[in-house]
């Protein structure tokens, strides 16, 4: 029996309340960082912008204007990191293989803090300039459109988290025995230079060296470890494309468990010993949860799986880091179900704009409802009804799921719970058979790719043969409590 509270966001809300001053300061940073690149684009929006040979400073996300960069696509990140939890010092080298999508005399990466010591593009030294989170790189030779190029960034320093518009922390978050590393929505840039937006997905390799006795856990398949001179190097390989925010390199004092699940899936769990007793009965369920989700959503999208259970009391949430979620404490079963469902919805099928975050959170929340329904708990209808009873002025109805309004609201109840309610309304309208066909088709058609809200509506209409405009209009686009449950 699991204990999902009706409408309960499956994460503990961040401990720190949103600080208006932090939001204002962020606004100022954005304004200061934008003018040159974006004003230039806006001024020439009629077309000449496309002729610019300077890659833009953002991919055009309205909530995070500087997130990601224009002008190239990253195929692969090869990250070599060394971290000492005692001094909190990080040494990094990132080898980034990318293709130019336009001619480029200059392009940006996102990197916040840390000191860059050298950058090469191809075999030649590049020049660079820092401007807030923008790392502007000028290669010696301009890059041709479609040219594949390799950028090597050497850097070091003391990484720390970013404070998000909602006041929560993400990125490199030091703990008492290492670091909890979770990058949604912005924090990847606190520990490696990235094209830091889910629009761009890439394969990854990680080589992480930590003091002997500590463990460094990243995404994908474990490729072995080696100890020499009091330090241990861990290697990880993430073959399927991954958004930068889903990368992790969590370091700590961990008990490691490795096994092959029925079906051949490689499982690697790393658990803080202080959380081990509480985590064990839940982690034991991981193979059966993934199996249950595979039956509903289609084959599990990755070669590896697992969990990182840390003790990170200042974090306040778990994250669906690809193939191996990170938990800030021993998770309960509904949280495990939620982060596992994200492997399909969010990780394999990614959003192209943060505004569409309900495609991740509404779906992962609905997976919790379904799990409960199919394991002897409340039906999804009962969960829906309990939520619908919330008074019209409650937080649940504060904004529509597909239009949170800003980055400050992307992890709030309307996205999670009302997003799940919208899916339940869809299920009611099209019937169970078609509904489950839609969920599976969504995960299959967009596997290892992206999906947008408009595409989800179109797919639902095509699969059902129904006009669903009004349903989606009411449940995901319109503010306030819908008049009819």
Which chain residues interact with ligand TRP by CB under 6 A?
11, 14, 164, 166, 168, 170, 184, 317-320, 338-339, 361, 411
- The tokens for 150 are 């390799």
Closest separation in Å from C-beta 388 to ligand TRP: 22
CB nearer ligand TRP, residue 63 or residue 222? 63
CB nearer ligand TRP, residue 411 or residue 435? 411
411 binding partner (options Zn ion, ligand TRP, none; Cβ < 5 to 8 Å by kind)? ligand TRP
170 binding partner (options Zn ion, ligand TRP, none; Cβ < 5 to 8 Å by kind)? ligand TRP
SS3 88: coil
Closest separation in Å from C-beta 61 to ligand TRP: 16
- The tokens for 204 are 């990854």
CB nearer ligand TRP, residue 41 or residue 315? 315
210 binding partner (options Zn ion, ligand TRP, none; Cβ < 5 to 8 Å by kind)? none
Closest separation in Å from C-beta 304 to ligand TRP: 19
CB nearer ligand TRP, residue 107 or residue 369? 369
Bridge partners (DSSP) of residue 152 are: 95, 120
Q: Rounded to whole angstroms, how far apart are CA atoms 82 and 92? A: 7
Q: Rounded to whole angstroms, how far apart are CA atoms 152 and 42? A: 31
Closest separation in Å from C-beta 64 to ligand TRP: 13
- By CB atoms closer than 10 A (0-12, 13-18, 19+), residue 316 is middle
CB nearer ligand TRP, residue 361 or residue 372? 361
Q: Which residues contribute to the site for Zn ion (CB under 5 A)?
A: 361, 364
SS3 86: coil
Q: Rounded to whole angstroms, how far apart are CA atoms 180 and 170? A: 9
Closest separation in Å from C-beta 397 to ligand TRP: 20
Closest separation in Å from C-beta 286 to Zn ion: 17
Backbone angles phi, psi at 277, to 5 degrees: -65, -45
135 binding partner (options ligand TRP, Zn ion, none; Cβ < 5 to 8 Å by kind)? none
Closest separation in Å from C-beta 66 to ligand TRP: 18
Q: Rounded to whole angstroms, how far apart are CA atoms 407 and 61? A: 10
Residues 6+ apart with CB under 8 A from 68: 58, 59, 61, 110, 195, 196, 197, 199, 200
Residues 6+ apart with CB under 8 A from 279: 271, 307, 309, 327, 330, 331
Q: Rounded to whole angstroms, how far apart are CA atoms 298 and 440? A: 6
8 A C-beta contact, residue 69 and residue 96: no
Q: Rounded to whole angstroms, how far apart are CA atoms 151 and 110? A: 13
319 binding partner (options ligand TRP, Zn ion, none; Cβ < 5 to 8 Å by kind)? ligand TRP
CB nearer ligand TRP, residue 8 or residue 287? 8
CB nearer ligand TRP, residue 37 or residue 308? 308
318 binding partner (options ligand TRP, Zn ion, none; Cβ < 5 to 8 Å by kind)? ligand TRP
Residue nearest to Zn ion (CB): 364
Q: Rounded to whole angstroms, how far apart are CA atoms 319 and 188? A: 13
């Amino acid at each position: 029996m699991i204990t999902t509270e009706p409408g309960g966001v499956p994460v503990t809300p961040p401990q720190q309340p949103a600080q208006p001053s932090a939001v204002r300061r962020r606004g100022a940073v954005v304004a200061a960082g934008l003018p040159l690149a974006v004003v230039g684009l806006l001024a020439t929006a009629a077309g000449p912008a496309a002729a610019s040979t300077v890659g833009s400073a953002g991919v055009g996300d309205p909530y995070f204007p500087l997130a990601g960069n224009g002008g190239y696509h990253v195929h692969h990140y090869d990250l070599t990191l060394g971290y000492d939890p005692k001094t909190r010092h990080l040494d990094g080298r990132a080898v980034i293989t990318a293709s130019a999508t336009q001619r480029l005399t200059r392009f940006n990466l996102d990197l916040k803090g840390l000191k860059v010591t050298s950058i090469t593009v191809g075999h030649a030294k590049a020049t660079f300039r820092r401007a807030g989170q923008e790392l502007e790189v000028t290669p010696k030779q301009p890059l041709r459109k479609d040219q594949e190029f390799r950028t090597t960034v050497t850097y070091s320093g003391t990484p720390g988290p970013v404070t998000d518009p909602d006041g929560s922390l993400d990125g490199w978050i030091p703990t008492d025995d290492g670091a909890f590393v979770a990058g949604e929505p912005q924090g990847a840039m606190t520990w490696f230079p990235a094209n830091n937006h889910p629009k761009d997905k890439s394969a990854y390799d990680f080589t992480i060296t930590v003091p002997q006795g500590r463990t460094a856990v990243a995404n994908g398949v474990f490729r072995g470890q080696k100890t020499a001179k009091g330090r241990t190097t861990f290697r990880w390989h993430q073959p399927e494309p991954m958004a930068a925010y889903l990368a992790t390199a969590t370091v700590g004092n961990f008990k490691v468990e490795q096994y092959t699940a029925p079906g051949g899936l490689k499982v690697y769990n790393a658990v803080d010993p202080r959380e081990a007793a509480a985590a064990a009965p839940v982690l034991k369920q991981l193979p059966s949860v993934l199996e249950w989700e595979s039956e509903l959503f289609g084959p599990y999208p990755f070669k590896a799986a697992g969990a990182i259970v840390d003790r990170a009391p200042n974090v306040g949430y778990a994250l669906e880091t690809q193939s191996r979620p990170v938990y800030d404490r021993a998770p309960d079963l509904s949280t495990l179900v939620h982060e596992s469902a994200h492997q399909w919805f969010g990780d394999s099928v990614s959003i192209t704009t943060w505004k569409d975050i309900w495609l991740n959170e509404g779906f992962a929340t609905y997976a919790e409802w379904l799990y409960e329904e199919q394991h002897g708990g409340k039906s999804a209808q009962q969960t829906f009804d309990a939520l619908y009873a919330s008074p019209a002025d409650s937080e649940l109805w504060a904004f529509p799921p597909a239009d949170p309004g800003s980055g400050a609201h992307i992890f709030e109840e309307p996205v999670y719970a009302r997003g799940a309610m919208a899916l339940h309304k869809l299920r009611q309208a099209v019937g169970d058979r078609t509904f489950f066909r839609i969920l599976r088709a969504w995960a299959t058609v967009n596997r290892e790719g992206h999906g947008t809200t408009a595409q989800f509506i179109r797919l639902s209409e095509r699969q059902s043969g129904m006009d669903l405009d009004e349903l989606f209009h009411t449940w995901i686009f319109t503010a306030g409590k819908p008049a009819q449950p």
